[in-house]
C-alpha cells in the first residue's frame, strides 16, 4: 500500500513520540505495519508478547475508562474514500471457524484501489454450530 507524504510524516512523528516515551523499541525488521498495538491480556497470558503495562500507563490514562484496558493504543489507517457512481466496487472477504472480515474498495478511473469501508467480527456460538 502506498501512503501519501503527509501520512508518512505523521507515521514518523508518532513513532518518534512512542520511541521517546520508551513505549516501543527500534526494529530492524524489513516488514512494516500501519498500526501500533498493545496486546490484550489473554495474549500476554499465552506469552505471545512482553508486558506492556508501562505503555498503557504512559499513553492511555485518560481513556482507560472509555475504551478499556489493553486495547489498541494508536491506530493509523488510511482515510476512507467516498466512491463515485462510476467507480467499480470490490468486496474482499475472509473467514475462519470463529472470525470473519470484509473490506469494501472502489476502483477509480485511474485504476487505483481506494478503501471505502471495513468490518470484522466473530461468529456466535449458534452460528458456529450451524456451520459444522
For residue 118, count other CB atoms closer than 10 A to its CB: 13
Where do the domains of the chain lie?
5-75, 88-130
Predicted confidence at residue 78, as pLDDT, reads: 66
Phi, psi of 117 (to 5 degrees): -165, 160
68 touches 106 (CB < 8 A): no
Beta bridge partners of 102: 93, 119
Cell 496486546 found at: 39
Q: Which pLDDT band holds residue 39 (cuts at 50, 70, 90)?
A: low
**What's the pTM?**
0.40
Note the pLDDT of residue 30. Answer: 65
24 neighbors 56 (Cβ within 8 angstroms): no
Angle (CA) 83-86-91 rounded to 5° is 55
State the number of CA atoms in the 13 A half-sphere of 49 facing the CB. 14
Task: Report the alpha-carbon distance of residue 14 to residue 83 in Å, rounded.
Answer: 29
The three three-digit cell numbers of residue 114, written as one number: 481506494
60-118 pLDDT, tens per residue? Answer: 555 444 444 444 444 556 678 999 999 999 999 988 878 888 999 999 888 889 989 98
Amino acid at each position: 500500500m502506498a501512503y501519501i507524504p503527509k501520512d508518512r510524516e505523521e507515521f514518523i512523528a508518532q513513532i518518534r513520540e512512542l520511541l521517546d516515551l520508551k513505549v516501543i523499541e527500534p526494529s530492524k525488521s524489513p516488514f512494516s505495519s500501519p498500526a501500533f498495538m498493545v496486546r490484550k491480556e489473554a495474549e500476554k497470558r499465552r506469552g505471545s508478547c512482553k508486558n506492556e503495562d508501562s505503555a498503557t500507563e504512559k499513553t492511555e490514562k485518560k481513556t482507560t475508562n472509555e475504551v478499556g484496558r489493553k486495547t489498541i493504543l494508536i491506530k493509523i489507517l488510511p482515510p476512507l474514500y467516498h466512491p463515485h457512481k462510476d467507480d467499480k466496487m470490490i468486496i474482499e472477504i475472509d473467514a475462519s471457524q470463529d472470525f470473519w472480515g470484509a473490506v469494501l474498495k472502489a476502483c477509480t478511473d485511474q485504476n487505483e484501489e481506494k478503501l471505502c469501508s471495513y468490518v470484522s467480527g466473530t461468529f456466535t456460538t449458534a452460528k458456529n454450530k450451524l456451520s459444522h
